[in-house]
């Protein structure tokens, strides 16, 4: 029996084309005489990043190593049996049978994925490897692989949506959410091609003497059918479908153009902040693009501040750090966003080439009457100042929050107390009326 079957899979919506290539796997599945059989669809998370960082040759070695680990793990099980197949580069299929029960299967697949993640061979390459998996059960979700494959595929897609690095059993309610995701992906592609995203800007104000120092650029999308679609809904899908690169370039180009126009009118804020995606930082395609933007618009790079989150560092710290150092050397400023919501923030203050830290708005929810929260905020601000970093508190909504932050020495504040995010025309008017009257 061959154990390495190659075929092409492009997107979830067109995977029907592979079914004709599944004859051998289907024959093996049908030949297994067992009451308990499961079909597992696995995918390497962020494999494009891995290929871009270590190259295609080593990327192929990663795939072979994972296939080897899967095969050896199945052979080592005492309460279950299985066969592993490699399909379409970074995807695998497992047939698991004679397993003890569903609880054992759930636990065993989880341990399998965890062991792959912890394998020292990947660490020796300087990469972090995780897999996601979707599982369908024979006689519960279907009776042959042509029934079970699309349902395992749907479960895999849901595992990706929920954060990757996990496995998911199929359930009937999943199908609707998956097709909604596919529909949103098509809408995003149309919006990119038509360039209908727009930028809104929210003021960042100095606590002393209370003047405008910058703006944060925030993407907005008004769909002709649904109206405004929040970024929290479309950004994760754009990242999963590889469309974030195009969106990010549209955002940067739009903001650079706006900053250039403000500079020409001599009413520009000191800086405009742009959020950078983890994809751009890991793949490093952002560097040549920023060089082109500098050449195109010809204004001081310190007018632009890029915001990053810890999520990017978790994906591949080495390459993200390299990208950030390049951005810094080009003259742009960098801030660490959502500080305090992750697990390694303190260490990142030490290693990242950052200028500012944005204190997450969750710290301000009970800042006036929560002594413990006050201690945390004051300690963070004191630590940042000792490290020569400035602090921006976001989510400021009340005068009492503002007064408290001024009293403890926070450098900048941002929030609805001053203004909601406004489009370029509205923010220009707001600036003129508020700070240049």
Two tokens at 415? 């929030």
Kindly state whether residues 151 and 206 are assigned to the same domain: no
CATH no. for residue 95?
A: 3.30.70.270
Query: 223-272 pLDDT, tens per residue?
Result: 888 899 999 999 988 887 788 989 999 999 999 999 999 998 876 678 99
Report how far residue 8's alpha carbon sits from residue 27's, in angstroms, rounded to the nearest whole number. Answer: 20
CATH number, domain with residue 315: 3.20.20.450
Domain boundary among 172, 190, 212: 172
Do both 95 and 233 map to the same domain?
Answer: no
139 and 233 together in one domain = no
Token digits of residue 18: 């592979």
Q: What is the pLDDT of residue 4?
A: 37
Residues 91 and 199 reside in one and the same domain: no
Residue 6, domain member (yes or no): no
Q: Is residue 65 domain-shared with residue 124, that is, in the same domain?
A: yes
Which portions of the chain are predicted below pLDDT 50?
A: 1-18, 20, 437
Q: Which one of 148, 172, 196 terminates a domain?
A: 172
Q: How many separate domains does the chain show?
A: 2
Separate counts of helices (H) and strands (E) for the chain: 17, 15
What is the structure's pLDDT at 23? 76
Q: Could you tell me the two tokens for 315?
A: 């994906």
CA dist list (Å): 331 to 7, 223, 274, 288, 341:
46, 36, 15, 14, 28
As a whole number of angstroms, the distance between CA 373 and CA 146 comes to: 55
My answer on whether 139 and 189 are in the same domain is no
Check residue 436 and give its pLDDT: 56
Judge whether 336 lies within some domain: yes
Shared-domain flag, residues 324 and 410: yes
397 is a domain residue: yes
Task: Tell which phi-psi region holds residue 139, choosing left (phi > 0), alpha (psi between -120 and 50) or beta.
Answer: left
Residue 339 located in a structural domain: yes
Task: Collect contacts of 220-226 with beta carbons under 8 A, ≥24 apart.
Answer: 220/421, 220/423, 221/191, 221/196, 221/197, 222/196, 222/198, 223/187, 223/191
Residues 6+ apart with CB under 8 A from 21: 5, 7
Residue 16's Cβ-count burial label (10 Å; 0-12, 13-18, 19+) is exposed
Shared domain for 166 and 296, answered yes or no, is no
Examine the domain organization and report whether 156 and 187 are in the same domain.
Answer: no
Domain boundary among 172, 192, 211: 172
Kindly state whether residues 365 and 237 are assigned to the same domain: yes
Range of the domain at 349: 182-434
């Amino acid at each position: 029996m061959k154990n390495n079957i190659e075929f092409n899979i492009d997107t979830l919506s067109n995977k029907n084309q592979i079914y004709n290539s599944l004859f051998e796997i289907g024959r093996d599945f049908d030949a297994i005489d067992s009451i308990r059989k499961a079909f597992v669809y696995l995918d390497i998370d962020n494999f494009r990043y891995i290929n871009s960082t270590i190259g295609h040759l080593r990327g192929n070695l990663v795939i072979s190593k994972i296939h080897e680990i899967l095969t050896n793990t199945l052979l080592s099980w005492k309460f279950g049996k299985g066969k592993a197949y490699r399909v379409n580069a970074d995807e695998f299929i497992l047939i698991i049978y004679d397993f003890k029960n569903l609880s054992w299967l759930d636990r065993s697949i989880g341990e399998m994925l965890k062991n792959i993640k912890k394998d020292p061979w990947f660490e020796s390459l300087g990469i972090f490897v995780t897999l996601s998996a979707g599982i369908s059960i024979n006689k519960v979700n279907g009776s042959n692989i042509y029934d079970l494959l699309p349902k395992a595929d749907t479960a895999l897609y849901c595992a990706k949506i929920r954060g990757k690095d996990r496995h998911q059993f199929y359930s009937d309610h999943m199908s609707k959410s998956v097709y909604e995701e596919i529909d949103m992906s098509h809408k995003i592609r149309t919006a990119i091609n038509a360039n209908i995203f727009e930028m809104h800007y929210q003021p960042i104000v100095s606590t002393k003497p209370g003047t405008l120092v910058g703006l944060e650029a925030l993407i907005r999308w008004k769909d002709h059918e649904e109206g405004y679609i929040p970024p929290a809904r479309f950004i994760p899908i754009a990242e999963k479908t590889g469309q974030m690169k195009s969106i990010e370039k549209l955002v940067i180009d739009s903001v650079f153009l706006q900053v250039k126009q403000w500079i020409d009118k001599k009413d520009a804020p000191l800086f405009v902040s742009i959020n950078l995606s983890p994809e751009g930082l890991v793949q490093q395609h952002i560097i040549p693009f920023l060089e082109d933007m500098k050449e195109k618009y010809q204004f001081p790079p310190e007018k632009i501040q890029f915001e990053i989150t810890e999520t990017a560092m978790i994906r591949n710290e080495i390459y993200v750090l390299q990208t950030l150092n390049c951005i810094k050397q080009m003259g742009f400023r960098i801030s660490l966003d959502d500080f305090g919501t992750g697990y390694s923030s303190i260490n990142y203050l030490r290693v990242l080439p950052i200028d500012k830290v944005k204190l997450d708005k969750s710290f301000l929810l009970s800042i006036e009457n929560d002594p413990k929260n006050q201690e945390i905020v004051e300690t963070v601000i004191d630590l940042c100042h000792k490290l020569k970093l400035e602090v921006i508190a976001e989510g400021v909504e009340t005068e009492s929050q503002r007064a408290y932050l001024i009293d403890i020495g926070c450098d900048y504040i941002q929030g609805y107390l001053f203004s909601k995010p406004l489009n370029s025309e509205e923010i220009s008017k707001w600036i003129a009326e508020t700070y240049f009257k």
